[in-house]
């Protein structure tokens, strides 16, 4: 890949903002770069486009918690716990419950 991953996924999202997986990948790269505010925006856009099994909700909760947006983080964790439970991801739901308690 001739461009870095962050630039690559940013370009994909610009070219077609309706591709949920591109938004999720871009959000992950933003998280790795420490750009939590931008990641929150992309994770929310991703969640508006598709149903998630819990992972994106957990990432959103963590980013919001780091930004000090505790109420929003709690809402994200609660949604993630619900989704993880629906899809049988009990370990993920337990992780988010612990993260919620730690807020």
pLDDT of residue 3: 61
pLDDT for 50-61, tens place per residue? Answer: 999 999 999 999
Q: What is the mean pLDDT of residues 38-47?
A: 98
Answer yes or no: is pLDDT of 2 > 70.
no
Q: Is the pTM of this model over 0.85?
A: yes
Answer yes or no: is pLDDT of 25 > 90.
yes
Answer yes or no: is pLDDT of 73 > 50.
yes
Answer yes or no: is pLDDT of 67 > 60.
yes
The contacts of residue 13 (CB under 8 Å, 6+ apart) are 19, 22, 23, 26, 42
Q: How far apart, in Å, are the Cα atoms of 53 and each of 4, 21, 83, 86?
A: 28, 13, 5, 8
pLDDT of residue 6: 94
Spell 29-38 as b/e; 16+ CB within 10 A means b: bbbeeebbeb
pLDDT for 77-96, tens place per residue? Answer: 999 999 999 999 999 999 99
Contact (Cβ atoms closer than 8 angstroms) between residue 7 and residue 15:
no
Contact (Cβ atoms closer than 8 angstroms) between residue 23 and residue 13:
yes
Answer yes or no: is pLDDT of 1 > 50.
no
Phi and psi at 101, nearest 5°, equal -60, -30
């Amino acid at each position: 890949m001739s461009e870095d991953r962050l630039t690559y996924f940013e370009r994909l999202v610009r070219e077609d903002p309706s591709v949920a997986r591109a938004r999720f990948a871009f959000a992950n790269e933003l998280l790795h770069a420490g750009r939590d505010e931008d990641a929150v925006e992309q994770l929310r856009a991703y969640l508006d486009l598709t149903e998630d099994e819990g992972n994106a909700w957990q990432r959103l909760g963590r980013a919001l918690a780091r930004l000090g947006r505790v109420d929003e983080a709690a809402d994200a964790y609660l949604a993630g716990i619900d989704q993880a439970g629906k899809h049988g991801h009990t370990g993920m739901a337990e992780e988010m419950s612990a993260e919620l308690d730690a807020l």
